[in-house]
Each structure stands twice: as C-alpha cells, then as structure tokens.
Structure 1
C-alpha cells in the first residue's frame, strides 16, 4: 500500500491512492483524525455488507456513525470509540446483523484492530423499519 500526499497551502493537503484523491484540511474539511474515524466506518461497513450479503440478509440504508473524544494532553489521541450502526431490515435479522458486526470488529477489520490497541470499541445497533 502506498499513498502520496501533497501540501496545498495552509493546513490543506491532497492525498492520492491508486486513481482516487481526497482533500485533507484541518480548518475546512476532513482532518487526519476525522479520516481515521471515517476509515474505521468504511472498513467495518465493507465487512458488514459483505457478510450480510453472504448470509442473504436483506437490508438497505446502512449508516455508520463513529463517536469519540480526545485526550486533553498532547499527543491528543482517541479515548473510547463508540459506533452506531443504523440500517433497514426486519427485526428477525437482528442477531445476524449483530453477528456480522461482531465478526467485522473482532476478526476482519484491520482498522479496528489497530485502533483497539489504544482505545476500546463498542457499538449499538439501531434497526429501522423494513424497507
């Protein structure tokens, strides 16, 4: 894996990976730490979608919110991480969705594994009425 990040002035950077780029700006956009939280959401989201599809669980509108606070002193690092998973599916699928999330957070998501070395990770699952 290899990324390239170029300073654009002020606190702004552009980072490229493969054929994609992302704007990083601590004042007017995603900060590096916000990108880390986004990476956790994306990593676990990819796993959960893949697992639910393999389990043939019908769902829609998966939304993942990652919440944390930072320590007061430098270097300011994340305290405990809390994830809210929201998706539309029937209540009868709750245990399968929880299993998919657990597998992601405990086995497959490398971002979660790295962050867990410093911070605990917890989650809640909110099911919305079936589509």
Structure 2
C-alpha cells in the first residue's frame, strides 16, 4: 500500500504552510471574514483544485495517448457548501472546456468519462460525500 505524508506548519495567526511529496509547498490562510489576512489558498478551495487537477492529469494523458488535437482545455469546479457546521461540499459541478479547430468530441468525451468513472481517485473520494455533476463543453475555433 502506498502512503502519502504531508506536514503542515503553523506560520502564525491563521496561516499554515504544507509540503507535498513533490517537495513543493503551499500557503493556506483563512479569509478576513474568518480572522485571516487572505494570503494563501483556502483549504476547501484546494479540495476543488485537487479534484480538477486529478481529473485534468488523467485527461491530458489520454489526449496525448489518443493523439488528439486540443489547443487548450480548462476545468471549472463549483461547489455548494452546507449551511450547518461542519460545512461540507454538498453539490459539486465539474465543467470541462475544450478549445480547438479539430476537436474530436466523442474521443474527448471518452477521455473525460475514463477519468471520471475509472482513474481519478479524488473524484471517487468526492462521491463519498457529495453529488458530483459532470459537463463537457466544446469551443471550436
């Protein structure tokens, strides 16, 4: 079994720094409404970034393997928090945007579906606590 370890150090006030197995670090901080100064990333938003990053890496790999012509793509994630504490994501929407002149829509849909249904572990974790809706949009240049 593979194990990941991350160490998170308190930097004072409402700021923390976390390392990553890659050796990189990131700052987290609460917003001013919660006693922070707004420097750094918000922990819950990082979860959405992890979801998009996990699936995005899958899709990028499949684009390369399928030799698809994609000029660019981005993933937008939007989530609704519950009203009661602990506030958690309840509904999550993941929208994949593909840009290019010769987009092979069926193959790109297959790449997204493979990520969503088979490869992306973060997506599977999200499904344990939230409803996840997927949408794909094609932008032909």
TM-score, normalised via structure 2 length: 0.86
Q: Which of 1 and 2 has higher RCO (CA within 8 Å, sep 6+)?
A: 1
**Pairwise CA RMSD of aligned residues?**
1.3
Within 5 Å, give how 1:85-100 maps onto structure 2.
Answer: 85-90=96-101, 93-100=104-111
Partner of residue 15 from structure 1, selected from 18, 25, 32:
18
Within 5 Å, give how 1:77-92 maps onto structure 2.
Answer: 77-90=88-101
Measured in 2, the distance between the counterparts of 1:71 and 1:30 equals: 20
Within 5 Å, give how 1:10-89 maps onto structure 2.
Answer: 10-17=13-20, 18-27=22-31, 28=38, 29-89=40-100
Contact 1:91–1:127 under 8 Å retained in 2? no
Measured in 2, the distance between the counterparts of 1:100 and 1:48 equals: 6
TM-score, normalised via structure 1 length: 0.93
Measured in 1, the distance between the counterparts of 2:102 and 2:96 equals: 14
Measured in 2, the distance between the counterparts of 1:24 and 1:91 equals: 40
Which segment drifts farther, 28-37 or 85-94? 85-94
Which segment drifts farther, 54-63 or 32-41? 54-63
- Paired residues, number: 130
- Is residue 2:130 matched to residue 1:127? no
Q: Which runs of 5+ in 2 are unaligned?
A: 32-37
Q: CA deviation at 1:79?
A: 1.2
Structure 2 counterpart SS, 1:13: strand
Measured in 2, the distance between the counterparts of 1:92 and 1:40 equals: 24
Q: Which runs of 5+ in 1 are unaligned?
A: none
Measured in 2, the distance between the counterparts of 1:82 and 1:112 equals: 11
Measured in 2, the distance between the counterparts of 1:2 and 1:60 equals: 35
Which segment drifts farther, 8-17 or 84-93? 84-93
